[in-house]
Every structure is written in structure tokens, then in C-alpha cells.
Amino acid sequence: MGFNCVVGLPLAVHGSSLEDYLEEFPEEARAVFEEAAGTCSAATGVEVDKSGWDAFKASAEHLGWVRVSEAKALDFRNRAVVALAAEHGRSAPVNSDLLHQYAAMT
């Protein structure tokens, strides 16, 4: 879920390739990833793999060219993270903010 939340909505909002996004917005990217992973962990009871972010970055090196002009499957990705976070007493402010930014663009 962390991978899908990063490679989609943020790229559409920022008009960036994955490589450029990770370079220009590293804190935001990590927050999107960690909100998704932490929320899924809370919902499923499965512990978050502490090396998940590093594994994501390693896998993303080969996909730096990826660009997204339109965010898709938001109900199953970033919106799902925000809703699930609320259900489990958590928050996902970065995912929520990106959703608002995208809504204002469309």
C-alpha cells in the first residue's frame, strides 16, 4: 500500500516523475509511505517492516521514469488510507492534504 500511495497521487499533484518527486519532496514521500504502512499495520495487526522505506527506495530506483498525469484508484489507495486511519484512531494528514490538492486541480 505504501508503494501504491506514493506512486500515483503525489506524482499527479506535483507533476513529477518518481525520481524527481523523491528528490524534491523526500519528507512528504516518506510520510505518505509511512502513513499507509502504519495504517495498514493497525488495521491488520501485522507489524510494519522497519526496512520497508529503504526497500521502497531501492525498488523505485529502477522506476524513476514513471510519471502520472491523473491519479487513479484513489478510493482503494490514498482515500482508503485516510478512512482506515480514522477508523483506527490514527491520522493520515499528508495523504489527506494531497487528496485535497488533487481535488482542487480537477
Rounded to whole angstroms, the Cα distance separating 12 from 106 reads: 11
Share the mean pLDDT of the chain.
Answer: 93
CATH, residue 83? 1.10.1040
Euclidean distance between CA atoms 9 and 88, whole angstroms: 23
For 80-90, write each residue's pLDDT tens digit.
999 999 999 99
- When divided into structural domains, the chain yields a total of 1
The CA angle 24-25-27, to the nearest 5 degrees, is 140
Domain interval for residue 8 = 2-105
**Amino acid letter for position 88:** H
Output the pTM of the full model: 0.90
16 pLDDT more than 90: yes
Q: What percent of the chain has pLDDT over 90?
A: 75
Contact indicator for 53, 61 with CB cutoff of 8 Å: no
In the predicted structure, residue 94 carries a pLDDT above the cut 80: yes
pLDDT in tens, 18-69: 999 999 999 999 999 999 999 999 999 999 888 999 999 999 889 989 888 7
| 67 φ, ψ (degrees, to nearest 5) | -130, 150
